[in-house]
Chain A
Amino acid sequence: MFELKNISKNFGPHRVLKDISFKIPKGKITGLLGPNGAGKTTTIRIITGILAADRGAIFFHNQLINPLDWHSRFQLGYLPEDNPLYDFLTPYEYLQFIGEMRQATTLEQQIAWLAKKLFFDDRLHDLIGHLSKGYRQRVGLAASFLGTPSLIILDEPLNGLDPNQQQKVRQFLRQSRSTILFSSHILSEVQAICQHVVIIHQGEIITAGDINNLLQKSSLIIQIKNTTPSVLQNILAKAKIKIARQKKKGQIFTIELTSNQPLDKAQLSLWRIIRQHPRWQVLQLKTKHQSLKSIFQKLTQ
């Protein structure tokens, strides 16, 4: 397992990362999400040793590692966002080059296997400069898996792939059982591929954990007539129930609630509150299941 502890990074007066900590569980795909400028790329660059952190530490199996030390980078596979390849090499030569640099054993077999799995074995000996974007992306992806690194960092790995190719790559990633940090803007992809998710916003980790747990955090929508909004707001705040959205139209007050505790508990608390106010008339009560997209939007707005 990889663990980042209290990582901070400043660029001049601008604090890009503010003491971020999160774990990348072994054998799982962890999605790294965040709006543009949130600090995703800086985080990735610190893990890969491209940038030095101002503060903080990175642990691998509870042992402190220094990504700036080139030896520690044997454990890393990386596909940068713009997937820079050497156009004057063939995919075979490029993979051989990357494999040699990572001192990969059984390199020939690994190249053949990856080329077949990522279905570019028919173009293995053509110049990379002559390949389409989809092929190039798959070559870059294959390179990040060479040498069976302990952590594979993929920055927008599905860029330039058509829906069929995306499906196959998704399947490949899931079956690989590698420890992957997957950064993407396509939230539906993250939801489909990742088992774990880290959401970063303005240099801070907003949420991190199992994606299923996150998705179970639904919200509750309730419409109440004849209530006094300020009174209700105070009561809910005391019960630690967070109002995500609210709207008042005439006598009808609509609120959307989120809670850190399971929603059935929040619902129960809410019923208790309502029962103490006989004048309040509940018009509607429904549970709204959230997608990763809506969770992401709520957390990063």
Chain B
Amino acid sequence: MKRFWAFYQKEMRFLFRQPLTFIFLILAIILNNWLAFSVILVNRQSTLQPLWQNLPFFFMFLAPLVSLVLINEEKQNNREELIRSLPLSTPFILANKLIAAFSLLFILLLASTPLAGMLFWLDHPDKGILLGGYLGGSILLLAYLLASFFFNISSRYNLSGFFLGFLFLLGDDLLGQNFFLLHFPQLGSWFRYLSFRTHYQHLGDGFLSLSDVIFFLTWFIIFWLSTIIVQKRKRQ
């Protein structure tokens, strides 16, 4: 655990020494909160639904970006040899980077808590739905990061990893959008099931079904194992 903490601390310090981290994070927080805040004011409803609607768009851009930075950190600074010569397993390194990326982007979720506080101040929102939204946001973030890690590790060139990850997440999000599903009436239910957004929305609505749990768990396992296998193969 001590080793894990030491590695995690190092990753976080690396992330927070990048000026771009602050720029992107602050911009995303302002934009995300402002978009949600304005809709809440217009609709006059004590719910964070507008926030949950926008969150996947922020994550589908930021998750591949943070993954790109963390995965290529050692490579770009010639520290890959040093890290590889240390007694660290591939899952240990990747898990640390994943948790560091998760911690950083979780700030985006945390930064929305003043909005939740405002709802409690103005009205009596459903606590279960609010908690479901935060749980769904966290799970969606983890799923997006795992997919982004896979594409970043699998790609030979840094930027292609970012773009592949982004396009995959965008494509997957489209699968769950009604305007897309209308064109495929026969396959609609399949496409809908394959989209992260569908299952995330269930959680955001305060529902947790076994089907959602199985879906997320399956994706987590597939992406995690594939990432480790690709990384190990690359090494050999």
Alpha-carbon distance A38/B190, docked complex (angstroms): 57
**A172 proximal to B (CB < 8 A):** no
The smallest C-beta distance from A211 to any residue of chain B, in angstroms, reads: 26
**B82 proximal to A (CB < 8 A):** yes
**B14 proximal to A (CB < 8 A):** yes
Given contacts A45-B81, A52-B235, contact A73 B13 (CB under 8 A): no
Q: What residues on A are CB-neighbors of B14 within 8 Å?
A: 86, 88
**A59 proximal to B (CB < 8 A):** no
Contact B6 A73 (CB under 8 A): no
**B10 proximal to A (CB < 8 A):** yes
Q: What residues on A are CB-neighbors of B10 within 8 Å?
A: 86, 89, 97
Count CB-based A-B contacts (< 8 Å).
Answer: 68
The smallest C-beta distance from B30 to any residue of chain A, in angstroms, reads: 26
CB within 8 Å of B: which A71-103 residues: 71-74, 76, 78, 80, 82, 84-86, 88-89, 96-98, 100-103
> B87 touches which one: A52, A80, A96, A101 (CB < 8 A)?
A101
> B3 touches which one: A71, A88, A103 (CB < 8 A)?
A103
**B7 proximal to A (CB < 8 A):** yes
CB within 8 Å of A: which B86-115 residues: 86-90, 92
Contact A76 B13 (CB under 8 A): no
> B13 touches which one: A50, A52, A89 (CB < 8 A)?
A89
Contact A71 B87 (CB under 8 A): yes
The smallest C-beta distance from B28 to any residue of chain A, in angstroms, reads: 23
**B127 proximal to A (CB < 8 A):** no
Contact A68 B86 (CB under 8 A): no
Contact A100 B3 (CB under 8 A): yes
> B81 touches which one: A73, A80, A96 (CB < 8 A)?
A80
Residue with the greatest number of chain B CB neighbours at <10 A, chosen from A52, A72, A85, A100: A100
**B85 proximal to A (CB < 8 A):** yes
Given contacts A84-B77, A89-B10, contact A70 B87 (CB under 8 A): yes
**A137 proximal to B (CB < 8 A):** no
Given contacts A84-B78, A84-B79, A88-B17, contact A78 B236 (CB under 8 A): no
Given contacts A45-B81, A68-B236, A97-B6, contact A102 B87 (CB under 8 A): yes
Pairs across A and B, CB under 8 Å, 27 listed: A48-B85, A50-B84, A52-B236, A68-B236, A70-B87, A70-B92, A71-B87, A72-B87, A73-B88, A76-B85, A76-B87, A78-B82, A78-B85, A82-B78, A84-B78, A84-B82, A88-B17, A89-B10, A96-B6, A97-B7, A97-B10, A100-B2, A100-B6, A101-B3, A101-B6, A101-B7, A103-B87
Q: For the A-B complex with A86-B10, A86-B14 known, give 7 more contacts whose Cβ atoms are closer than 8 Å.
A: A45-B81, A50-B85, A68-B235, A70-B88, A78-B81, A88-B17, A101-B88
